[in-house]
Amino acid sequence: MNEKVLGYLTEYFQINDFFKKFYELVFTDKRLLIINTGETFRSWFARTDVAYSKRENLLEMDIMDIFKNFEEKKIESIYYKNIEEIVLSNKTFIKNGKIKIELCEGKKTYYTSKENSIGEIQKICREYDVPITITVN
């Protein structure tokens, strides 16, 4: 595999009625990898960040290590040509930050409680000239 990791966006999640699922986003020179790193029960008293150790290891991995260490079914691969736009919103006092990935066939939305998530994404895309349209709300 002749693919280079450009950057990582960590601590993203989706919430449904019962679970909070954790995701890490990896930008390469060819595609965006969305890695499901775990889930936890959603109740306030039982909630924990089950993805912490996986996230710490991920930051040291290259593309080959990622595919060796995560199950294939937990990695979603989206080539840049299939991404129409990425819409970003920063975290506020009331709302989590958000990344909405508009695809040719639908959309995917992930949330983060991190500050300045927009800056991280813009830096990766600007520094490496990632061929996708970024819109900031």
Task: Pick the more confident residue, 109 or 1.
Answer: 109
Interval 36-95: pLDDT, tens:
887 776 544 444 554 555 566 777 888 888 888 887 778 999 999 999 999 998 888 898
CATH code, domain carrying 88: 2.30.29.30
Contact call for residues 86 and 102 (beta carbons, < 8 A): yes
Residue 46 is predicted with a pLDDT of 46
State the total domains in the chain.
1
- Please give the full DSSP string across 81-129, using - where no structure is assigned: GGEEEEEEE---SSS-EEEEEEETTEEEEEEE--TTHHHHHHHHHHHHT
Nearest Cα residue to 60 out of 8, 136, 121: 8
Of the ranges 48-52, 105-109, 115-119, which is most confident?
Answer: 105-109
pTM of the model: 0.84
User: What is the torsion angle, in degrees rounded to the nearest 10, for the CA atoms of residue 43, residue 48, residue 54 and residue 58?
Assistant: 90
Report which secondary-structure segment, H or E, holds 9.
Answer: strand 5-15
The domain of 105 spans: 5-136
Contact call for residues 13 and 125 (beta carbons, < 8 A): no
Residue 54 is predicted with a pLDDT of 59
Instruction: Measure CA 11 to chain center.
Output: 8
Nearest Cα residue to 26 out of 68, 50, 55: 55
Q: Is the pLDDT of residue 26 over 50?
A: yes
Label residue 106 by pLDDT band (50, 70, 90).
very high
